[in-house]
Amino acid sequence: MSSEHSKTVSSRQIEVATLGGGCFWCMEAVFSELRGVEKVESGYSGGALADPTYEQVSTGKTGHAEVVQVNFNPKVISFKEILKIFFTMHDPTTLNRQGADVGTQYRSVIFYHNDEQKATAEQVIKEITEAKIWNAPIVTQVEPFKAFYKAEDYHKDYFKKHREQPYCKLVIAPKIAKLREHYHKKLKVLDKKSYENL
């Protein structure tokens, strides 16, 4: 993300979270539903290769993780709330995989943008660990944000555009259903048709 873009975002009192929790199609669909979230973009972070393609990242050799960059209004939804939803919507105990998606590109990772985000991430992980919500240790990485490379256009709104695809029906739809069940008070206004179309 350019420094110019950072200034624009901060001037509007919008913060940015960069999170990897498996396939970015899933994460984009989840965070797009939340009140206070102004924009969600799928992309790549954490690797050394500049402007990687989906094909390159999919090899698992670039060091990048599939991530979502979430622009949110902290007056409506806090970074801590976003992280709690993040940890609910994926399994943070499986190293370099989410279900059938296997590889370092699917690792659980939080790329923090400042010291406050780092401290919050570490605190949330500590709270979840102490609460013993998961039976196995959390392996989510907490790393400094360096760069975000936007994914190709065909990945945008993938779930909305391809609901009938097996992956969307079997993997993403259950996550959205879980989100709506557990965090319905955090959702943007949804009409009945939205639920029926899931």
Residues forming the active site = 23
122: DSSP letter: H
- The strand pairing partners of 19, in sequence order, are 68, 110
Distance CA 144, CA 179 (A): 27
Q: Which residues contact 145 (CB under 8 A, 6 or more apart)?
A: 18, 45, 111, 112, 113
Backbone angles phi, psi at 81, to 5 degrees: -65, -40
CB-facing half-sphere around the CA of 155: CA atoms within 13 A: 21
CB-facing half-sphere around the CA of 116: CA atoms within 13 A: 7
The answer to whether 64 and 49 have CB atoms below 8 angstroms apart is yes
Four-residue CA torsion sign, 24, 25, 28, 31: negative
3-class secondary-structure state, position 179: helix
